[in-house]
């Protein structure tokens, strides 16, 4: 588990240029426009109609006062029929506005949810193509925070902020035009106050965004810590570490609270400040308008002043609404940056052209590819210059020639590795923790690519083999098992999706897992969940071995495959493993040296170098490192 002092709090610079922020938001907008142009066009039309109907009701105030109320007060026998007719037409206009407002909100729900669906799908598909190194350098909590918190901030922006921004822009444009027509002097007063409000919003927004960025990172830290504590709960309890874990969580939770407070402390004053500036603008318009009327400004009537005051409210309101959405915009820009950072990660490269095919041997000894399973595999090597492809039988011979490797360029972990594994051989790797045993197997299946040297499989450079086909030829049983939600049969079948139920049962019998499976509540149909939490560690390991058995690969990699199994179960599994390894090249990593005594070659590693190799008896005669590891005696 990572402790707070070991966490990398911020993997990105706090500072960011205005251009980058703009590019992130433009990219988000383009993502929405890509699939919903017609819907957004309809939304824009509905917003325009809604804004026009709102303006019509505002301007009606002028007509109501100047053309109806004032004349009616000066008439002995007022006729209300024209006023009623006008009110009826206004009501019809407002009904149209209500319908358009409802339509645009319904359409935005569809646009928002559809965009979120596509975005999560794109993220997951891209994540599945990322190299193992990405997951080795990013915590599960950080990745999950991108899927949940960051995507949710985008939902809020698309559903609320984008329509609000469009509505505000249209309202400001229409209102401005109407204000100019009514009174130029009063319009100038409104413009000055609007500029002050816009400058205030921008100034405060710059200072709050960096805090929102820290807030999102701290939220990922909290999620990552909770995920670690849930995974390692047994370790926490075994070492009575509950109180320390609580204190650690309180520390990072306080960091989240502090960053959230700082972000909202600034952003939340934007709305009140702009609201009061709007009230001040309203008062100034009233004072200036009254002065103009009293000064004999003939073109400015009482109805015009009242209508202008209402328009001033409509003009200031969009600016206040934009400031109200500033939290959503700032959060969304940070969330979008983290989402796009995941989407921009370089996927795992694969330039291999050699593929794995089912084959059968003709009477003349020539390999022929066939569409059905034959229990015989061949490498299909594309021909050059229109030549026919070649087919090489998969025997499982593996060679590593002067291989150097480092997870980072400045830290090499393997040096001059030379291994020659013949088909049907069992090669064992032994050595202390960090010696490089697992790293070697990660290079064979190309989870990582070597810096120097060459690795071949059946004489073919693994760089030339398509990664999915290379990995299909390699069966792996890892020390850390992982079971998926589904039945026992589903988990075994994960090794080969076209395997029948009988194939899965035979694989379970081969590794002696059939007995405990049949004792489960529903046998092979028992549903597993929570990573097989209702099974013992040994039972989970047996299912992982059965999964490899049903895949029936020509090469096996067993990374501490029996480390979690008791001695009695180990003897049962070992017999099954011996049957499984028959006819296959097998690489075994084991700390229990008793499990590798029958290996054809035992390779002893120390600090990334091969220091000894040979059979069990040969290495004991050397009385070197292996002798020390096996007997526990000093050399």
Asked if residue 10 has pLDDT above 70, the reply is no
Instruction: State which H helix or E strand residue 73 sits in.
Output: helix 70-73
User: Strands 601-606 and 426-431, how do they pair?
Assistant: parallel
Average pLDDT for residues 45-55, to the nearest whole number? Answer: 85
Residues 410-460 pLDDT 10s? 889 999 999 999 988 999 999 888 888 889 988 998 999 999 999 999 999
Is the per-residue pLDDT at 533 higher than 90?
no
Q: Indicate whether 20 pLDDT > 70.
A: no
Flag the least confident range among 62-71, 85-94, 221-230, 611-620: 62-71
**Per-residue pLDDT at 52 exceeds 80:** yes
Percent above pLDDT 90 for the chain: 16
Task: State the pLDDT at residue 569.
Answer: 66
Nearest 5°: the CA angle 418, 420, 422 is 170
CA angle 375, 377, 379 (to 5 degrees): 175
Q: Is the pLDDT of residue 540 over 80?
A: yes
Q: Which two three-digit tokens encode residue 633? A: 């005696």
Is residue 1 pLDDT above 50, yes or no? Answer: no
Please answer whether residues 615 and 599 qualify as being in contact, where contact means their C-beta atoms are separated by less than 8 angstroms. Answer: yes
Whether the predicted pLDDT of 233 surpasses 80: no
pLDDT, tens only, 140-181 = 777 888 888 888 888 878 887 778 777 777 877 887 787 787
Mean pLDDT of 464-484: 86
Q: How confident is the model at residue 8 (pLDDT cuts 50, 70, 90)?
A: very low
Percent of the chain residues past pLDDT 70, beyond the cut: 86
> Residue 334: which of 224, 211, 252, 225 has the closest Cα?
211
**Coil, strand, or helix at residue 74?**
coil
Rounded to whole angstroms, the Cα distance separating 584 from 580 reads 8
Report residue 303: phi and psi, to 5°.
-65, -40
Q: Is the pLDDT at 405 greater than 90, yes or no?
A: yes
Sign of CA dihedral 44, 45, 46, 51: positive
| Cα 447 versus chain centre, distance | 20
437, 602 Cβ separation under 8 angstroms: no
Q: What φ, ψ does residue 255 adopt, rounded to 5°?
A: -60, -40
pLDDT range class, residue 71, cuts 50, 70, 90: low
| Cα separation values, 612 from 34, 281, 436, 559, Å | 60, 86, 14, 20
Judged by DSSP in three states, 147 sits in helix
Torsion (CA) 519, 521, 524, 530 in degrees, nearest 10:
-110
pLDDT of residue 385: 66
CA dihedral sign of residues 207, 209, 210, 216: positive
C-alpha 600/C-alpha 194 separation (Å) is: 83
Q: Check residue 178 and give its pLDDT.
A: 79
Looking up tokens 């142009």 gives 37
Beta-strand ranges (E) seen in 295-366 are 355-361
16 — pLDDT class (breaks 50, 70, 90) = very low
Instruction: Specify the pLDDT at position 461.
Output: 94
**Rounded distance between C-alpha atoms, residue 176 and residue 172, angstroms:** 6
| C-alpha atoms less than 13 angstroms from C-alpha of 90 in its C-beta half-sphere | 16
Q: Which of 157, 338, 334, 339 has the alpha carbon at shortest distance from 260?
A: 334
Among 150-159, 247-256, 449-458, 528-537, the least confident range = 528-537
Between CA 359 and CA 370 the distance in angstroms is 5
């Amino acid at each position: 588990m990572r402790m707070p002092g070991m966490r990398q709090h911020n993997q990105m610079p706090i500072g960011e240029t205005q251009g980058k922020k703009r590019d992130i938001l433009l990219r988000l907008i383009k993502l929405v426009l890509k699939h919903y142009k017609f819907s957004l066009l309809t939304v824009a039309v509905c917003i325009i109609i809604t804004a026009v109907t709102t303006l019509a009701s505002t301007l009606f105030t002028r007509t109501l006062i100047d053309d109806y109320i004032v004349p009616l007060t000066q008439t002995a026998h007022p006729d209300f029929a024209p006023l009623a007719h006008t009110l009826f037409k206004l009501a019809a206009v407002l009904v149209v506005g209500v319908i358009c407002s409802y339509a645009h909100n319904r359409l935005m729900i569809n646009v928002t949810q559809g965009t979120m669906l596509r975005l999560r799908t794109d993220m997951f598909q891209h994540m599945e193509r990322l190299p193992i190194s990405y997951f080795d350098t990013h915590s599960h909590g950080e990745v999950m925070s991108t899927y949940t918190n960051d995507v949710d901030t985008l939902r809020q922006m698309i559903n609320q902020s984008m329509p609000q921004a469009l509505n505000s822009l249209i309202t400001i444009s229409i209102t401005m035009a109407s204000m100019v027509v009514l009174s130029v002097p009063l319009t100038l007063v409104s413009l000055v106050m609007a500029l002050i409000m816009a400058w205030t919003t921008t100034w405060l927004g710059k200072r709050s965004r960096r805090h929102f960025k820290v807030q999102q990172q701290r939220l990922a830290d909290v999620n990552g810590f909770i995920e670690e504590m849930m995974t390692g709960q047994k370790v926490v309890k075994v070492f009575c570490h509950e109180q320390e874990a609580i204190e650690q969580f309180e520390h990072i939770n306080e960091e989240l609270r502090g960053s959230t407070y700082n972000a909202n402390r600034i952003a939340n004053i934007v709305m009140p400040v702009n609201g009061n500036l709007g009230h001040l603008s309203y008062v100034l318009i009233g004072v200036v308008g009254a002065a103009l009327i009293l000064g004999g400004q003939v073109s400015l009537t009482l109805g015009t002043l009242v209508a202008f005051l209402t328009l001033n409210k409509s003009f200031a309101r969009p600016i206040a609404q934009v400031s109200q959405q500033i939290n959503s915009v700032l959060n969304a820009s940070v969330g979008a940056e983290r989402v796009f950072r995941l989407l921009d990660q370089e996927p795992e490269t694969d330039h291999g052209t050699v593929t794995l095919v089912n084959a059968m041997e003709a009477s003349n000894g020539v390999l022929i590819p066939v569409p059905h399973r034959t229990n015989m595999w061949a490498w299909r090597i594309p021909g050059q210059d229109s030549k026919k492809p070649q087919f090489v039988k998969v025997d499982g011979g593996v060679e590593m020639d002067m291989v150097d490797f480092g997870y980072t360029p400045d830290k090499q972990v393997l040096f001059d590795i030379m291994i020659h594994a013949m088909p049907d051989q069992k090669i064992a790797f032994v050595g202390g923790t960090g010696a490089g045993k697992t790293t070697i197997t990660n290079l064979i299946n190309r989870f990582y690519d070597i810096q120097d040297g060459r690795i071949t499989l059946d004489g073919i450079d693994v760089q030339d083999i398509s990664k999915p086909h290379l990995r299909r030829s390699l069966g792996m049983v890892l020390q850390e098992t992982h079971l998926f939600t589904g039945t026992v049969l589903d988990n075994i079948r994960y090794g080969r999706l076209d395997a029948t139920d009988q194939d899965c049962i035979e694989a379970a019998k081969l590794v002696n897992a059939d007995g405990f499976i049949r004792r489960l509540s529903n046998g092979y149909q028992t549903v597993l969940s929570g990573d097989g939490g209702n099974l013992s560690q040994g039972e989970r390991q047996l299912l992982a071995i059965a999964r490899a058995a049903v895949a029936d690969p020509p090469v096996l990699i067993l990374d501490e495959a029996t480390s979690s199994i008791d001695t009695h179960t180990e003897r049962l599994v070992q017999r099954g493993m011996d049957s499984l390894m028959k006819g296959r090249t097998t690489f075994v990593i084991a700390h229990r040296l008793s499990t590798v005594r029958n290996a054809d070659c035992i390779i002893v590693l120390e600090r990334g170098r091969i220091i000894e190799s040979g059979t069990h008896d040969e290495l004991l005669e050397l009385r070197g490192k292996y002798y020390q590891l096996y007997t526990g005696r000093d050399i």
